[in-house]
Amino acid sequence: METKQPLGGRVLTGPFVFFLILVLIGAYFAAKRFTLGIGAVSNMNDGYPWGIWIALDVVIGTALACGGYTMALLTYAFNRGEYHPLVRPALLTSLFGYSLAGISVMIDIGRYWQAYNIILPWHSNLHSVMFEVALCIGAYCLVLWIEFAPALLEKMKADRLLKKLNRVLLIFIALGILLPTMHQSSLGTMMLMAGYKLSPLWRTAFLPLLFLLTALIIGFAVVIYESLFSSVTHRLPLETTILSKLATVTFWCVLLFMVIRIEDVNLRGYLPLAFDGSLVSNMFLLENTFLLCGLFLLMYPGNRNCPKLLFLSASCLLIGGSLYRFNTYITGFDPGNGWQYFPSVGELCITFGIVAVEILGYMWCVKRLPIISVPQTS
């Protein structure tokens, strides 16, 4: 029998201080952004109205935060109880990932003080993909906090409230599966609007499906990666048995994705474009190389039981999946008229700060809240 318990230990470790410094640097630039405006810290321009704050923090960030979604999907929708130990840590990263994606959007949008209008139905633009994404992500953040609440309530020993919450938790778990399915595909739909500004290597009617699949792939891979990583750093026993099962599911997802992805480009006749040696086509090759590496590593059942190869394949899938999303939003996007974009120092520092907040939060939570399942030693 396994129970979840705080890992304990000192919070203020070396890495913790390092990430704290990153957060402070990010906070400095965020303050600059809110006092002097976006132009003072960012290289975004009229050609590239979004930069890494959207591409990295939101589009990739929420995919990396899909661990909670994929685990809930497996455990509750497909009724695979054996994955239950992985749910709570995955939910924790999802919680931070999504909440901070929301904060990134607040930093990114020009008139953030108007943002509340999204939740006013009489101001809703029901024809906007952006609206769907905004509302969906906003709702999912809330759902994640409720899904995660039991961990906090256990810590606070609020048993009565916990009992009440457990009675209605099912609804929120269902919502927690529905909402990401909606908005993760919508993130792909959004780039359909870019039309011919998006390179034909990425521009396809399959964008919504491909984005949903990358959300699943990255969601599974991040659970594997994180579990192995925290086992090493916190010196916990490895959860290889569950992870190798998870890897099998991941394998089929990646296979489906790759078939659709490559066949789609091929059937539209744009595959030769991938070999013209430009930055865009090389990024396409790089992205797919990583995904194929991950796929081949997972193909052999033997590999799925080896923590080292499991970790390597998860890393490949994470990089490949993230690159797919990054390329769709930034590299493959050319607004024309000579516009260029590369993130500025301030922009990067804000993103680093946001990632650092996530890591700090995770570090603190696993030490102080009942998150990780530890086998009971007799």
Partner 1 sequence: MKTNTFNGIKARLGGISRRDFMKYCSIMASSMGLSTGVAPQIAEAIADPAKRPPVIWLHGQECTGCTETLLRPSHPTLDALILDIISLDYHETLNVGAGHQAEAALQQSMKENAGKYVLVIEGAIPVKDNGIYCMIGGKTFLSMVEEAAAGAAAIIAIGSCAAWGGIPSADPNPTGATSAPVVLKGKTVVTIPGCPPNPYNFLSTVVYFLTFGKLPEIDEQGRPKFAYGRLIHENCERRPHFDAGRFAEKFGDDGHRQGWCLYKLGCKGPVTHANCPEILFNDVGGGTWPVGTGHPCFGCTEKGVGFNIPMFTQAEIQNPTPSAFKAPITADHPSPLTIQGAGLAGAAVGAIVGASAIAMKNLGSSSSSSDQSSKED
Inter-residue contact 352 to 30 (CB < 8 Å): no
Q: Does 343 bind partner 1 (CB under 8 A)?
A: yes
Q: How far apart are CA 118 and CA 17, in angstroms?
A: 37
Q: From the list 96, 140, 211, 311, which residue makes contact with partner 1 (rule: CB under 8 A)?
A: 311
- State the minimum distance, in angstroms, from the CB of residue 235 to partner 1: 8
Q: How far apart are CA 344 and CA 361, in angstroms?
A: 26
Within 10 angstroms of residue 152's Cβ, the number of other Cβ atoms is 14
Q: What's CA 145's distance to the chain center, in Å?
A: 16
Phi, psi (deg, nearest 5) at residue 176: -65, -20
Of 45 and 266, nearer to partner 1 (C-beta) is 45
Phi, psi (deg, nearest 5) at residue 154: -60, -40
10 Å CB burial of residue 15 (0-12, 13-18, 19+) is: exposed
- State the minimum distance, in angstroms, from the CB of residue 342 to partner 1: 4
Q: Segment near partner 1 (CB under 8 A), from 40-48, 57-65, 103-111, 202-210?
A: 40-48
Q: Segment near partner 1 (CB under 8 A), from 207-215, 249-257, 290-298, 302-310?
A: 302-310
Q: Does 340 bind partner 1 (CB under 8 A)?
A: yes
Q: Segment near partner 1 (CB under 8 A), from 28-36, 61-69, 115-123, 332-340?
A: 332-340
Interface characters, 234-263, with partner 1 (x: CB under 8 A)? ---xx-xx----------------------
Of 14 and 121, nearer to partner 1 (C-beta) is 14
Nearest to 44 by CA among 107, 132, 98: 107
Q: Does 24 bind partner 1 (CB under 8 A)?
A: no
**Residue 119 structure tokens:** 């939740």
Phi, psi (deg, nearest 5) at residue 198: -95, 135
Interface characters, 197-236, with partner 1 (x: CB under 8 A)? ----------------------------x--xx-xxx---
Half-sphere exposure of residue 287: CA atoms within 13 angstroms, side-chain side: 24
**Binding region for partner 1 (CB under 8 A):** 43, 45, 47, 225, 228-229, 231-233, 237-238, 240-241, 306-308, 311-312, 315, 337-345, 347-349, 352, 375
